[in-house]
Structure 1
């Protein structure tokens, strides 16, 4: 099948040939005016075709550059993932006996109040370190989705129940907007982890109260799960790097929360989008393409 530019060249050639043919009278005499007109027409069409080809080459070059950048990014992440995975496993191996020893100390009868406070601080530190290790392992995992269909309403309810104590402590009001019949085909565990990360990321910017809204609906590119907050929103330079691994504006945390969301999106053939809301605050959307929608497209 001829491409658009090829079809244009064929049409241009046919038109020019016809005009040149018309420049010759039936007795073989040449009509100079018609011949010049044919030349002008052919030249104009040739210039238009050349410009169309130039635009097509520029478009393909841009696409190739984007693909090359994506490939380079994936290669860098793969190398980073191997290193981080090794470190995470080594740290976890050291954490397990430490956690066990602290637990044993707390059960001793002569473990006084002051010692108990110190033991609790050590335990809290170990828990935070274990959370960091979990983030590293989730980010570096090359796990493929285990596909199944499930209702999104129950998943969003689970996430809210998990975060209820933290939301209450921070005076954050949580709302869910999703059709109870809306189902999605994806890896439930991976999607739950991504939504939990979105909510935790939103809570991090609302230490003194606010609103957290979880919504899910069917969009043009698939099922869209959005987490919106009433925080300060993304600064322009932060929005550009929101999904970069280890990028964070906080004094604590690994900077992997949104990077894991991006990995989950990519594993499902989707995308994650960060933006500021017109009414204030920020929103991050997880887009999960669905088989029927892809077939219809």
Structure 2
């Protein structure tokens, strides 16, 4: 393709949306794409709601089973008017009632974390009532405190386990203190010999049970965090496998279509170039020819993007003058596409030598500049800035567009994701893959309504590249 609006050698990405994925970074409004793993703000609530629903149901089942066991083993069956029977029934009824209230909030999908913490505290109070009627400080029901600590770890990780442990330990110590200070007597229908009410005898079971709560909390938190991390890696691996499958399909499609598409595009571009320079066209006809040239160049870019994304290659590292590459792309961008109504500027040194693949770095700069132009309105300025900081070269492409929409930030560098009416969302995916292959990081700083800046960090290798200001 010989049209002057054609991209530089090996361009790859602008057919995609200007903004397709990023992660929260340190400065306000900044997004970091290294490493790629972010989730939407609401996405964490969905699994929490699911876990909370299942654990609420499981809690009621355990409570019912424990009530039956308590009645059969400790109480010898429910005794009408018996103190322990009344306490057990009231406790279980109250637990069911509170669970119903929590279920209403759960159905509304609001304040899920607050509901989770409240349920953990409620459970520990419930278990304390059952501990009281089944032997007090030495009751076997104290093991239920650890069950709630495990539940807290599953729901909220370490913070949830701590809430359960603190509330359970506090409730148990208060029960033991009430028995030791004789503020709470032995249930009238229970044998007094089954209860420990002297401080000297209370110290050992208190220490053992509190130690058990601490140990269960630590183990549950550790296992929950490991499970969560493993699940996250599994999700990432699944996503990579799905993307690899899509890229393989894209590669087969691109290989078959590239030759068939580019040949007629070249003929169209050559014919339009001859017509436009023939001197026999009116101004209106020449404007139409420019539109055709621009659209054929865009189609050529799309084919190139598909090929680049589907057939990655290992970078051939050499000494590259990044300043020259950036300035060449700026000049070309001013003559291509919307370069006529969006000004592209270069700010930086006259030379910046880095170790990289020359063609691929040219492609990265071109894709980012083209995306910035597409995100800009007429009369806006796109700035390509290059400077050195802390042993690394920083290349920034900044636009004055609308910024990245909040809903699109988590998929900014995903292939085939786009928020625009045309394009396939490939350009930034190519950028990310090339930079990953080089070991370079990319950072995105964006505020809605204030524009966006893509910042590539290229660290020095074992032999620092030379720089000439």
**Matched residue count:** 260
| Partner SS state of residue 450, structure 2 | coil
Matched, 1:174 2:345: yes
* Equivalent in the alignment of 1:162: 332
Q: Which residue of 2 aligns with 1:213?
A: 383
1:284 corresponding residue in structure 2: 454
Determine if the alignment matches structure 1 residue 241 to structure 2 residue 411.
Answer: yes
**Residues 274, 282 of structure 1: 8 Å contact kept:** yes
Residue of 14, 25, 43 corresponding to 2:212:
43
Partner of 2:316: 146
1:229 Cα offset (Å): 1.0
> How far has the Cα of 1:145 moved from its partner?
0.8
Following the alignment from structure 1 to structure 2, what is the Cα–Cα distance between the partners of residues 69 and 221?
A: 34
Structure 1 residues 221 and 76: CA distance shift in structure 2, 3 A: farther
> What aligned pairs does 1:20-35 form with structure 2 within 5 A after superposition?
none
What's the counterpart of residue 17 of structure 2?
A: none
Matches of residues 178-217 of structure 1 in structure 2 within 5 Å?
182-216=352-386
Between the aligned partners of 1:254 and 1:57, the Cα distance in structure 2 is 36
Offset at 1:264? 1.6
Task: Tell me how far 1:88 sits from its aligned partner.
Answer: 1.9
Say if 2:398 and 2:453, in contact at 8 Å, map to a contact too.
yes
How many angstroms apart in 2 are the aligned matches of 1:135 and 1:202? Answer: 17
Deviation track 1:174-211 (CA, whole Å, cap 9, x = no partner) reads 2424x667543221211111111111111123232223
**Is residue 86 of structure 1 aligned with residue 249 of structure 2?**
no
Q: Distance in 2 between matches of 1:246 and 1:57?
A: 31
Q: Which has the larger radius of gyration?
A: 2
Match of 1:263 in 2: 433
The answer as to 2:303 corresponding to 1:133 is yes
Q: Which has the higher strand share?
A: 1
User: How many angstroms apart in 2 are the aligned matches of 1:105 and 1:209?
Assistant: 30
1:218 positional shift? 6.4
How far, CA to CA, are the matches of 1:107 and 1:225 in structure 2? 38
By how many angstroms is 1:151 displaced? 3.6
The Cα offsets for residues 56-78 of structure 1, whole Å up to 9 and x where unpaired, read as: 33223323322332332233223
Q: Give SS of 1:169's match.
A: coil
Q: Deviations over 1:22-68 (max 9, x none)?
A: xxxxxxxxx97886576346524532441223323322332332233
Residues 57-96 of structure 1 aligned to structure 2 (within 5 Å): 57-96=227-266
* Structure with greater contact order relative to length (CA < 8 Å, sep ≥ 6): 2
Which residue matches 1:3? Answer: none
Normalising by structure 1, report the TM-score. Answer: 0.68
The range that moved more, 210-219 or 147-156, is 210-219
Q: Within 2, Cα distance between the matches of 1:207 and 1:259? A: 23
Structure 2 counterpart of 1:230 = 400
CA contact (8 A) 1:241 1:247 kept: yes
Going from structure 1 to structure 2, the CA distance change for 1:272 and 1:83 (only over 3 Å counts) comes to farther
User: The residue matched to 2:383 in structure 1 has which SS?
Assistant: strand
Do the aligned partners of 1:194 and 1:264 also contact (CA within 8 Å) in 2?
yes
More deviation, 271-280/193-202: 271-280
Q: Deviations over 1:135-154 (max 9, x none)?
A: 33233332221112334323
How far the C-alpha of 1:156 sits from its partner, in A, is: 2.0
Deviation at 1:279, TM superposition (A): 8.5
**Structure 1 residues 140 and 202 mapped into 2: Cα distance closer, same or farther (>3 Å)?**
same
8 Å CA contact 1:95–1:130 kept in 2: the answer is: yes
Tell me how far 1:160 sits from its aligned partner.
1.9
CA distances 1:259-294 after superposition (whole Å, capped 9, x unpaired)? 32123223324454444148811122334566559x
**In structure 2, what is the Cα distance between the partners aligned to 1:155 and 1:169?**
21
